[in-house]
Amino acid sequence: MSDWVRIADESDVSDGEAFASEVEGEAIALYRYEGAIYAIGDVCTHEHVRLSDGWLDGDRIECPLHQSCFEIRTGKVIEGGPAYEDVPAYAVKVEGGGVFVRRNA
Amino acid sequence: MTSTLLRNSTDRVWPAEGVTRVPAWIYSDPEIYAKELKVFHYGKTWNYVGLDCEVPEPNSFKRSWVGERPVIVTRDAAGEIHVVENRCAHRGSLLCWKNRGQAKDLTCPYHHWSYNLKGDLMGLPFLRGAQGKGGMPRDFDKSKNGLTKLRTAVRGGSIWATYSDDVPPLEEYLGPEILMRLDRLVSRRPLRLLGYSRQLVESNWKLYWENSRDPYHATLMHPFLSTFGILRTDGDYHSVPLQEGRHEYTYSHYDPELKNRSTEASKQIKSIRSDLEMKDKDVVTSVVDEFKDGMMGAFQVFPTILVQQYFNCLVVRHVIPKGVGAHELSWTYFGYEGDDARVNELRLKQSNLVGPAGFVSLEDSEVLSLMQPVVESCPDSVQVLEMGGHGTEAQATMMTETLIRAFYDFYRREMDL
Which pLDDT score, from 0 to 100, does residue B289 have? 84
Nearest to B297 by CA among B274, B277, B281, B313: B313
| Nearest CA-CA distance, residue A66 and chain B, Å | 4
DSSP B181-233: HHHHHHTSS-EEEEEEEEEEE-S-HHHHHHHTT-GGGHHHH-HHHHHTTSS-T
Distance CA B149, CA B315 (A): 27
Kindly list the residues of chain B whose beta carbon comes within 8 Å of any beta carbon in chain A. Answer: 104-105, 107, 112, 114, 116, 122-128, 130, 142
Which candidate in B88, B113, B120, B127 is best for mutational testing of the A interface (most A CBs within 10 A)? Answer: B127
Element (H, E) at B367: helix B362-377
Whether the Cβ atoms of residue A83 and residue A46 lie closer than 8 Å to each other: yes
Distance CA B362, CA B285 (A): 20
Nearest to B29 by CA among B322, B303, B379: B379
| Nearest CA-CA distance, residue A20 and chain B, Å | 15
The residue of chain B nearest to residue A49, with distances taken between CA atoms, is: B125
**A78 contacts chain B (CB < 8 A):** no
What average pLDDT score do residues B80-107 get? 97
Whether the Cβ atoms of residue B52 and residue B160 lie closer than 8 Å to each other: no
What ranges make up the beta strands (E) of A1-105? 5-9, 19-23, 26-33, 36-41, 55-57, 60-62, 69-71, 77-78, 89-95, 98-103
Whether residue B89 has pLDDT greater than 60: yes
pLDDT digit string, tens, across residues B225-251: 777 766 556 678 899 999 999 999 999
ipTM: 0.78
The residue of chain A nearest to residue B113, with distances taken between CA atoms, is: A66
Confidence of residue B407 (pLDDT cuts 50, 70, 90): very high
Whether residues B114 and A82 touch (CB distance < 8 A) is answered with yes
Whether the Cβ atoms of residue B252 and residue B231 lie closer than 8 Å to each other: yes
Neighbours of B417 (CB within 10 A): 14
Whether residues B124 and A47 touch (CB distance < 8 A) is answered with no
Whether residues B123 and A47 touch (CB distance < 8 A) is answered with no
Distance CA B325, CA B319 (A): 13
Which pLDDT score, from 0 to 100, does residue B225 have? 77
Whether residues B127 and A81 touch (CB distance < 8 A) is answered with no
